[in-house]
Amino acid sequence: MKTVKTVKHTLALSTALASVAGLAHAEDVTIALIVTNFQNVAEVSMAEGFKTKGEELGATVLTMDAKGSIERQANAIQDVLSQGVDGLAIEPLDSAVAQTWVDQGVDMGIPIAAMAVQVGDPSNPWNEVYPGLSAQVGRDDYVTAIDLATYSAGIVDTSKTVKIGLIEGMPGYSTVINLTNGFKKGLEDAGVDYEIVMSQPTDWTQTKGQEVCQNALIANPDIDLFFTHAQTMAVGCADAAEDSGSDVKIVSAAGALAAGQDYVRDGRISAAACEPWREIGAATAEALYEAATNPDAETGKLVTMRLPIYTAENVDSCVPQW
């Protein structure tokens, strides 16, 4: 039975773990987290939240880095499962591939939680939790993008066709699909006549964001608005806009970036979604620990955090988390 909870607001696997059967006792629980890439500071923050909460609950916590490789992530998952952890949290590099990992966990009786990225068909709605998951914790990217699009409708000239550039994250992430689709939906709901004049995936970095936006402004100097999938790219995009003398508006998902605060404060980034990275990590550890220790824990728990949009007017309301 699935429960739904809404909230507002390095690679080092230790020596072989002793195998355990069934649910663990609170005093000998080991839980593991495998992220996609610790080069992304947001994932470091989530891992810190996960580790702090897990240890606070009394668990031994392992954190591992897939270093951006699906093969490495798959191998780490196989190692962890075979060595008998009591629970495993994953931030999948590929949502579809992750289905097999969850299925394997179910067969072995090891609870698996998805952190920040959903498991299954990446185009599925966030609230469709993949069968077998103990929990799915994060934010609904589709809803976040709708909120950003609604805000965007108020800062562009809607008397004409609004030209938009999409600066996307890496392919394969459900986040990428849902942010793009949600943003389009939000614009349509707001009655905005728009044209996507360019859309390009990136590696989530500031450097790539600057490069892509610079090229986009050369090809389409009259772009009205950039929507970036993370604030790292938004900072790079803002630098590109400044270099080219463009007054293009920029809004971004995955905010709360320390380096982005001044960009929001002075309007170079018009708005961003405030990401509670540490809280996502902590909530994942809490849900996973419950699944590992409570025989009555319900599966398919959905923990969704609604992200506030912040601008120059309330920039200090968003505490940087990466």
Model confidence at 5: pLDDT above 80: no
Q: Which one, of 61, 68, 2, lies nearest residue 281 by Cα? A: 61
Residues 114 and 224 in one domain: no
The answer as to whether 314 is a domain residue is no
Quick: pLDDT tens for 298-315: 899 999 999 999 999 999
Q: Which domain holds residue 230?
A: 142-274
Residues 23 and 60 in one domain: yes
Model confidence at 172: pLDDT above 90: no
Residues 115 and 237 in one domain: no
Residues in the chain: 322
Model confidence at 189: pLDDT above 60: yes
Averaged pLDDT, 5-21:
37
Pairing of strands 271-273, 309-310: antiparallel
Residues 10 and 98 in one domain: yes
The answer as to whether 243 is a domain residue is yes
Tally of domains within the chain: 2
Q: How confident is the model at residue 27 (pLDDT cuts 50, 70, 90)?
A: low
176: domain CATH number? 3.40.50.2300
Quick: pLDDT tens for 214-269: 999 999 999 999 999 999 999 999 999 999 999 999 999 999 999 999 999 999 99
Residues 120 and 68 in one domain: yes
Residues 156 and 132 in one domain: no
